[in-house]
């Protein structure tokens, strides 16, 4: 059997892609909605705390990536790691990472537009939250499959 370094490469790529892409998504979501909150907060300061919700939801995506990365790191070991496991863990990391990236982009754009629209018309708040929840669900699907794959 080949040394464990080749299959470990795939495993560790899974770990890093989970974390890196999820954080990219979370960063985009936080940045974009943060810009919206800043513009809106100047005029309507009382709505700022309510409008932090998109930022929190984007942050959660980073946590998804962290969870999957930690779980995968525990599974990769030095001497008894097959190619099958390596590929499986790569798939797991990519699932979680890229889904969270997608969810983060959606949350960023919707959060920005929603928060600014909420300042004009407060009945939009409920609609914005519903849309954000559906966007967050995409990241959740990625997390579920990543956890299943990591076993």
Partner 1 sequence: MELLTFNVDDGYAEALIRGMRMSFIRKEEYDALKDCASLGDAKMLLEETDYLPFLQNEPSPCQPNVIRARMKEKLAKEFEHMKSNAAPQLFNFLEKVSHKYMIDNVVNMIEIIKNKDINRKRQAQPDPLGYFRGIEGILRFESDDIAELYQIVLIDTPVGDYFQRLLEDIIKAGAMQNRSIEDVHRQLAEITPEVLRISLKKMWLEDLFDLAKQLNGISKEILEDLIKFEADCMTIQIIYNSISNEELNKPAARETDRKALCPNVGYLYPEYEAQLSRAFDITTLRAAVESFPLYIEMLRNVADPANEEEMNDPSRKTLDDIMYEIGIKKYSLAFDQQFHYGCFYAYLKLKEQEIRNTVWLCEMVSMQLNRQDKAWTKYEKLIPFSCLREP
**Residues 88/75, Cβ–Cβ less than 8 Å:** no
What is the spatial distance between Cα 80 and Cα 87, in angstroms, rounded to a whole number? 14
Widest Cα–Cα separation across the chain: 66
Nearer residue to partner 1 within complex by CB, 6 or 38: 38
Nearer residue to partner 1 within complex by CB, 57 or 119: 119
CB of 68 to partner 1, least distance (A): 26
Torsion 34-38-39-43 (CA) sign: positive
Q: Which residues contact partner 1 (rule: CB under 8 A)?
A: 28, 31-32, 35-36, 39-40, 43, 112, 116, 120
CB of 48 to partner 1, least distance (A): 15
Nearer residue to partner 1 within complex by CB, 14 or 36: 36
């Amino acid at each position: 059997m080949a040394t464990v370094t080749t299959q470990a490469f795939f495993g560790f790529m899974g770990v890093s892609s989970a974390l890196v892409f999820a954080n990219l998504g979370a960063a985009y979501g936080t940045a974009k909605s943060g810009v919206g909150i800043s513009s809106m907060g100047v005029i309507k300061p009382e709505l700022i705390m309510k409008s932090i919700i998109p930022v929190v939801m984007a942050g959660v995506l980073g946590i998804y990536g962290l969870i999957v990365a930690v779980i995968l790191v525990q599974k990769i070991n030095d001497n008894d790691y097959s190619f099958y496991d390596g590929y499986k863990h790569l798939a797991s990391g990519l699932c979680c990472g890229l889904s969270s990236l997608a969810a983060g982009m959606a949350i960023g754009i919707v959060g920005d537009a929603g928060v600014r629209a909420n300042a004009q018309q407060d009945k939009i708040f409920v609609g914005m939250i519903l849309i954000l929840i559906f966007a967050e669900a995409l990241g959740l699907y990625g997390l579920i499959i990543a956890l299943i794959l990591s076993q």
